[in-house]
Amino acid sequence: MIIEPKVREYICTTAHPQGCAESVRNQADYACKQGMVNGTKKALIIGCSTGYGLASRICALENCGADTLGVMFERQANGRRTATSGWYNTAEFHRLAAEKGAYAKTVNGDAFSKEIKDKAIELIKKDLGKVDLVVYSLAAPRRTDSEGKIWSSCLKTTGEAFTEKSLDLRNNEITEKTVEPATEEEVLSTVKVMGGEDWADWIDALKAADVLTENAVTVAYSYIGPELTYPIYYHGTIGTAKQHLQKTMSEINQAHPDVCAVISVNKGLVTQASAAIPVVPLYFAILYKVMKKAGNHENCIQQIARLFTQKLYTPTGFRTDENGFIRMDDYELTPEIQEEVKTKEILYKDILKEREEMIERVSGYDKEIYRLESQKDGKKQKKKELLDYMWENYEVTYHQAKQRLELNETESLLRIKETINRLKKQIKDLGPVNINAIEDYKEVSERYEFMQKQHEDIVTAEAHLAGLMEE
């Protein structure tokens, strides 16, 4: 099968197995270079096939030498359709783990469901016994809970409507978007999908099945961002869900004292979900440029490798802030980076304003050009009608009329109009044209010739009779 890129909006819907394999190998090479730490030996990665989840699984292997069980929801190749990138990523990770002599299996299905939880627990009991690390890295637009109800997340504010400039990744155009406030039901639904409820369900199920080691660690990934994005993100429906996730961390720690739950607040990352959030794509575009220039930009594997080797597994334990969060967004939120981002954002908006004004002026010019072109077409049509009128009524062409005008340049336009009116009156005084005049003339001419001949015959006969009488 020949694989060609197919893009829907700004998302590529096809994946190449060799490209995915190369990506996994490159990430593994980077993680390996960061060295080994005394960390997890048996890890469960929930959401293991792409992004932070895949990076976590790679680091568990490369930086800790761990056996891993993964949970994903991916599609294998089917006829004309390629498999998803996550499917190919996971297949290559399995090969990588086998080369290193490490255990690696993956459960494919809906991680929100009890069925997949039970399958994962069964495999842990059978193959691993217990796990000492649970990474929760799920990102999904909807969730079916244990009662079969479907909850769908939404991207809205929780107060007033929010309007701001954003970057459309489909065409790299700056656009203005307005996000309406969410209803209470929409807020609840988003929390159900993106909050901490399912994370807690996983830990409760694993703990009840006795497949967690004593002092097992569970890490969930989150994002807070700078104040610039608060109106739509942290103070919106997604932010409400993230706050619920943070509350869940405390609840897990209270419910299970021998389990250590922690949230890793990661750096901003361009994903399918974040690309749809107003402000965020433009902020990320500027942020990436600034951080790359500063030399501290990190992609997924770079962040997670630093998490495993410098923040999660250290001789003194977790390195957290006052809220108990591991801050992997520390580089992003440094005052120097944020100050330059704000400066560039103001510059970008000024450029954008000038661009919009220029577009408005060009639009005005286009309208004026269209108006003038319409007038020009109308003048051309009028000229043609006048030329046709001159020919039909006077059998005079434009050039003939121009020559006559040049011969009479000394005559004023008023005098010419007077002459035209006088001639028109004389023509009118002639009366209507007898269209049968030619036929009438022919008939009269023939009768005249006949009568003329008769007259000549009579004159001749009269002369002859007169001659006879004289004799």
Give the C-alpha separation, 242 to 262, whole Å. Answer: 13
**DSSP H helical segments within 295-397, as ranges?**
300-306, 335-394
What per-residue confidence (pLDDT) applies to 89?
Answer: 96
Give the C-alpha separation, 398 to 316, whole Å. Answer: 101
CB-based contacts of 298-301 (< 8 A; 24+ apart in sequence): 298/267, 298/331, 300/27, 300/51, 300/52, 300/54, 300/55, 300/269, 301/27, 301/30, 301/31, 301/55, 301/58, 301/59
**Angle in degrees, 0-180, between the axes of helices 335-394 and 280-294, rounded to the nearest 10:** 120
Place of tokens 């292997």: 61
- Which residues carry out catalysis? 233
The residues, ordered by sequence, that sit 6+ positions from 250 with a Cβ below 8 Å of its Cβ are 324
Q: Is the pLDDT of residue 348 over 70?
A: no
- Cα 37 vs. chain centroid, distance in angstroms? 42
| Mean pLDDT, rounded, for 209-221 | 96
- Contact yes or no for 209/121 (Cβ under 8 A): yes
Q: How far is CA 289 from CA 67, 170, 300, 354, in A?
A: 37, 19, 16, 22
Quick: pLDDT tens for 349-394.
655 565 565 666 667 767 777 777 888 888 888 888 888 888 888 7
Q: What is the DSSP letter of 129?
A: S
Give the C-alpha separation, 369 to 466, whole Å. Answer: 97
- Which of the pair, 458 or 120, is modelled with greater confidence? 120
Quick: pLDDT tens for 66-105.
999 999 999 998 878 889 999 999 999 999 999 999 999 9
E strand or H helix at 59: helix 51-62
Exposed e or buried b for every residue in 238-254, given b needs 16+ CB within 10 A?
bbbbbbbbbebbeebee
Q: How far is CA 391 from CA 24, 398, 399, 401, in A?
A: 83, 9, 11, 10
Lowest mean per-residue pLDDT among 58-72, 267-281, 306-320, 339-353: 267-281
What per-residue confidence (pLDDT) applies to 277?
Answer: 62
Q: How far is CA 358 from CA 271, 355, 462, in A?
A: 32, 5, 108
Global pTM reads 0.72
N-terminal to C-terminal alpha carbon distance within the chain: 134
